[in-house]
Structure 1
Amino acid sequence: MVRAASALVAKLHRLLWRQLAETTPLPPPTAAPPHPPPTPPAPSPLTRTQTAQLKDGAPPCKGERSPPSASASATVASVESAVPPEEPFRHFLPAALFILTFVTVIGTLLIYMDNTVIQFKQNMRREDELAKVAQDDDVLVAYIREWQLTSAAKPFPPHSRHPSLPPERLPPFPTPIESVVAQLLNYKHKGVFVEVGAYGAASGGGSRTEWLESTLEWSGLLLTPNAHDYFRLRARRTAPGTLTTHACLSTSTHPKEITYQENWPREEVEVGVLALGNAGEEFSARVKCFPLYSLLLAAQKRNVDFLSLSCGGCELAALLSLPQNDQVHISIVEIVGKQSAGAEALLLSRGYNIVTKTSTSTIYAVRDIPTLKI
């Protein structure tokens, strides 16, 4: 496109020069004498005698020069008339060419930017699904492990927290969900958890595994598609064995990429933590989604003690992506938010019992775990 703009500018320049040459023809050249006569010096004042002699027609005295002849004056006049007069519009020609070039370049850039914006909006509305890639594909698993998973112990950029915000502190006591999980597993040390949607709105802005990680030395995988929740996750979790990823769960057995709508909290925008827009405005971002089984393979966590699902309705699809064999074993499953009949029926058919139901979630456990009296 830039090459086409340059060619257009060059063509306009040639047309302008051609028009100027046609409208203002130069006068024909006049042959100048090869050796113009020297300019005679100014005559000296004439005396009274010389003046009288000129009046009488007598020639001047010896040693005196005669005044310039009429032929010499005509030659000088013809040479002066051969020089064309200066045309005033030629002074404005460089400025006109600069303005023409500037307008052409700016117009080309505006057209290019409009096309780019239109293409970007079309890409934001499109959902790319890699239907030919299986969830246990070795290349997909290696990609997730190398490029999507990040250790929680890795230093996070300092601009993720603002000095005016209060410092993050780990909870001294477990949440009710963590207390139930700890009791079901007899306060097991160094367990494994997988939490989907940590620090999201459905989880009340918190996590269900912080106390397990800090007190019982658990580790696992933390996943959230919301950028704000991911920033808070990275600011609070620092266990070396925990992995984090900014992604979402796929609703099929194939990876995909979707447009995710986010709302920035007002207090975060006001203090300048996320200067991405005005408070309350939606922010669209392209987020990669992976099947739950692919994430477990990439994190090398096939034996999971506690799985917490908070993905706004994708719980059934996430559970269906898990193979029905001994490759993956999950002891306790929590579904956060509105309970779907399909997810409950699937878990009951796969050997789980309902341990407890709260206003925000339902906890299931495998049948070989003793049920608590809550």
Structure 2
Amino acid sequence: MQVEVLVGMGRWSEWWWWCARPGRLPRAAPLSILLATILTLISLLFFLNAKGLARQKWADPLIHELGDHDLAGAPQHHPDLVTYIKQLHLLTPHKGPYQLNNPNITDFSQNGQSQKVEEILKGKRGGVFVEAGAYDGESLSNTLYLEQQLGWHGLLVEPDPWNFWSLRKKGRKAHAVQACLSPSPFPREVTFKQSDTMGHIASVGEEGSRRGIFTRVKCFPLYSLLLALNTTHVHFLSLDVEGAELQVLKTVPWERVTIDVICVEHRHIPEGSQALQNFLEEQGYILHSSLGDDYIFVRSKLQESPANDVL
């Protein structure tokens, strides 16, 4: 392989010298530009591949050897799964300045969800959030206000690769993972239908359709992600996963996890809004308010919660 590349480079040099002779360059210029572009793209691909391999070398040897199929169906608390997420999927917060499209906006949430959380938690500073369905990290964000104004930190979960690419450019001071929240208490890989803010796990009927843009994405249980963050106390969970909200909540081991305030979009839940309310009431929550398509639930024993965990 290396010999072929060197021979190819040698031929490229001879060709370029021939083209550079007086009178020949103008005629060969378009082809020269095309070949130079191709070589640049090849070099960029080699660089990105080398960068990815270098990142994987930091992973634990056991995790590096595990294939995705080895973790499929693993219990959500399994230490190998947690390490796999932490080392290969969880991206760290940005340290530089924000790069927002609308830096003068204060509350980016659609119906004032962020300030409602601030009101419920009495202006709490330094809290921990998880936002699933984080979109581009700015538009319609239920957590950016808390991060900027109150010094909160946490996790942004976004499965759509285009949206996630935009999210990472915004300079958010939170961990991020390109994945969906698993509707089962174990990791899985699903077909995801990309649709801007309406992206969702494709149904059986949709998977065979040629209409739309589909991609394969990994899904991790919420509890597994929390363990990867070294916390089990979340002050605010924003859950907007286009219909899988109740299934995701049912995977949570509530005896091991503390979530103070939950904002859930209920419009697309197949089981219905009442089923969502009934389930969370059984877990010790009360319906505090309704904002647009979102319900705000508050843990009834909020005042008795233990000391805050820190990421």
Classify the TM-score, shorter chain.
Answer: 0.5 to 0.7
1:257 aligns with 2:192: no
Aligned equivalents of 1:234, 1:170: Cα separation in 2: 19
Taking the aligned partners of 1:154 and 1:330, their CA distance within structure 2 comes to: 27
Aligned equivalents of 2:143 and 2:258: distance in 1?
Answer: 19
Residue type of the alignment partner of 1:336: E
Paired position in structure 2 for 1:194: 130
Matches of 2:70 and 2:283, distance apart in 1: 29
Pick which of 131-140 and 247-256 moved more: 131-140
Q: Deviations over 1:27-57 (max 9, x none)?
A: xxxxxxxxxxxxxxxxxxxxxxxxxxxxxxx
How far residue 204 of structure 1 moved from its aligned partner, in angstroms, is 10
Within 5 Å, give how 1:17-32 maps onto structure 2.
none
| 1:313 counterpart SS class | coil
In 2 relative to 1, CA 137–171 (structure 1 residues): closer, same or farther, beyond 3 Å?
Answer: same
1:221 CA drift (Å): 0.4
**For this pair of structures, how many residues does the alignment match?**
216
Read off the aligned partner of 1:346 and give its amino acid letter. F
Structure 2 CA distance for partners of 1:170 and 1:332, relative to 1, 3 Å: farther
Call closer, same or farther: CA 1:173–1:131 in 2, change over 3 Å: closer
Q: What does residue 247 of structure 1 align with? A: 179
SS in 1 for 2:162: helix
1:137/1:144 Cα in 2 relative to 1: closer, same or farther (>3 Å)?
same
User: In 2 relative to 1, CA 204–141 (structure 1 residues): closer, same or farther, beyond 3 Å?
Assistant: closer
Judged with a 3 Å threshold, the aligned counterparts in structure 2 of structure 1 residues 308 and 173 are, in CA distance, closer, same or farther, namely closer
Counterpart for residue 71 of structure 1:
none
TM-score between both structures, scaled by the size of structure 2: 0.63
Structure 1 residue 137 corresponds to structure 2 residue 78 = yes
Change (3 A) 1:170 1:254: farther
Question: In the aligned structure 2, how far is the partner of 1:234 from the partner of 1:366?
Answer: 32
Letter in 2 for 1:183: E
In structure 1, what is the Cα distance between the partners aligned to 2:96 and 2:151? Answer: 20
**What is the rounded CA distance, in whole Å, between the counterparts of 2:119 and 2:262 in structure 1?**
14
- In 2 relative to 1, CA 140–155 (structure 1 residues): closer, same or farther, beyond 3 Å? farther
Pair 1:342–1:129, CA change in 2 (3 A): farther
Match of 1:185 among 118, 121, 127: 121
2:285 corresponds to which letter in structure 1? Y
Over 3 Å counting, the alpha-carbon distance change for 1:358 and 1:284 in structure 2 is same
Q: How does 1:276-287 map to 2 (within 5 A)?
A: 282-287=212-217
Q: Which runs of 4+ in 1 moved over 3 A?
A: 128-132
1:344 equivalent among 262, 277, 285: 277
Match of 2:234 in 1: 304
Does structure 1 residue 146 correspond to structure 2 residue 87?
yes
Query: In 2, distance between residues paired with 1:182 and 1:312?
Result: 25
What displacement does 1:310 show?
Answer: 0.6
User: Does the CA contact (< 8 Å) of 1:129 and 1:256 recur in 2?
Assistant: no
SS in 1 for 2:228: helix
Whether the aligned pair in 1 keeps the contact of 2:266 and 2:276 (CA below 8 Å) is no
Residue 227 of structure 1 and its aligned partner are, at CA, apart by 1.6
Q: Which runs of 5 or more structure 2 residues have no equivalent in the other structure?
A: 1-68, 198-210, 304-311
Q: Do the aligned partners of 1:309 and 1:334 also contact (CA within 8 Å) in 2?
A: yes
Deviations 1:115-156 (A, max 9, x none): xxxxxxxxxxxxx79554111010000000011110131679
RMSD across aligned positions (CA) = 2.9
Q: Could you say which residue in structure 1 is the equivalent of 2:51? A: none
Between the aligned partners of 1:345 and 1:151, the Cα distance in structure 2 is 36
Pick from 229, 232, 256: which aligns with 2:166? 232
Q: Deviations for 1:43-96, whole angstroms, at most 9, x for unmatched residues?
A: xxxxxxxxxxxxxxxxxxxxxxxxxxxxxxxxxxxxxxxxxxxxxxxxxxxxxx
Structure 1 residue 362 and structure 2 residue 283: aligned?
no
Alpha-carbon separation, structure 2, partners of 1:288 and 1:155: 28
Give % identity.
32
Q: Residue by residue, what CA displacement relative to the aligned partner does 1:245-276 show, whole Å, maximum 9, x if unpaired?
A: 100011111111112122469xxxxxxxxxxx
Instruction: Please name the residue that 2:6 is paired with.
Output: none
Q: Please identify the structure whose Cα radius of gyration is greater.
A: 1
Distance 1:355 1:237, change over 3 A: farther
Q: Is the 8 A contact 1:264 1:282 kept in 2?
A: no
After the TM superposition, which of the residue ranges 300-309 and 254-263 deviates more from structure 2? 254-263
8 A contact 1:171–1:211 mirrored in 2: no
Q: For the structure 1 residues 264 and 179, does the alpha-carbon distance in structure 2 shift closer, same or farther, using more than 3 Å as the test?
A: closer
**CA gap 1:362/1:155 in 2 versus in 1, 3 angstroms:** same
